[in-house]
Amino acid sequence: MFSLQQKHAVVTGAGSGIGKAVALLLARQGAQVHVMDLNEEQAREVVREIEAAGGKGTVQVADVSNQQQVAALFAALPGVDILVNSAGISHVGTVETTSEADLDRLYQVNVKGVYNCLYAAIPIMKRNKSGVIVNMCSIAASVGIPDRFAYSMTKGAVNAMTLSVAKDYLHAGIRCNSISPARVHTPFVDGFLKKNYPGKEQEMFDKLSKTQPIGRMAQPVEIAGLVLYLCSDEAGFITGCDYPIDGGFINLNN
């Protein structure tokens, strides 16, 4: 089950965090993974890990917000069977503390970046009459999260794009879904705590973990497991859906 043999998978933001975990797992299941990231050294390290485990990977350096770079990258690939839009950035702030520059920066990566990859990948998938897309959404698109105005805005857009693509390309053999994690323990979290709570990192980590009803943050590999399922033939009847993977945050946090 969950074999991805003979599949070409593009994973954006695959140099670290959730994207890295997704790239490693898809490669382990047989896909040739095109590790797409802005940071070339991180992408190379992920490919080294993939190859050390006996898998196949390539380094693909591009800024997802730059349509020309994205288009050139996809045009040079041998194929695209799977696209996982995992690249994303965050911002802490209310509408009053979110500057125009902050809003534009998040839009460029989290919204336009997803659009650019969809725009480049879908024509390839249409020619093959098959393809799978998984977009990284967030619980922030479904519930109110304090101090996440701009981030929540972008994830609401990702949710809407997922539904639109799923509807428009249903008869082209393309499936499109999204997943909505709650807090995940990634290098971003560690960096955020180090910057904002020096000397109190563990205390704040424990506090953030306890905001999840299950009592902890998710591990990136747990998110990757759901991505793998949605990319596999076993999920062939699923499209146009968002899957919370949130430790009970949406339904049990009361």
* CA-to-CA dists, residue 247 to 139, 211, 218, 228, angstroms: 11, 10, 8, 19
Per the residue annotation, which of 107, 115, 119, 151 is the catalytic one?
A: 151
Give the tokens for residue 243: 């899957």
Helix axes of 220-231 and 17-28: crossing angle, nearest 10 degrees = 50
Taking the C-alpha atoms of residue 238 and residue 230, their distance in angstroms, rounded to an integer, is 8
Q: Which pairing describes strands 242-245 and 56-61: parallel, antiparallel, or unpaired?
A: unpaired
**Exposure class string for 111-148: b at 16+ Cβ within 10 A, else e:** bbbbbbbbebbbebbeeeeebbbbbbbbbbbbbebeeb
Is 243 labeled as catalytic in the residue annotation?
no
Q: How far is CA 137 from CA 88, 159, 181, in A?
A: 10, 6, 7
Q: Is 76 helix (H, G, I), strand (E, B) or coil?
A: coil
Q: How many other C-beta atoms can be found within 10 angstroms of the C-beta atom of residue 176?
A: 29
What's the CA gap between 88 and 212, in Å, rounded?
Answer: 22
Query: Which of 172, 174, 169, 206 lies closest to 189, judged by CA?
Result: 206
Could you give the CA distance from residue 242 to residue 176 in angstroms, rounded to a whole number? 9
Structure tokens given for 169: 């390309």
Structure tokens at 210: 């306890």
Active-site annotation, residues: 151
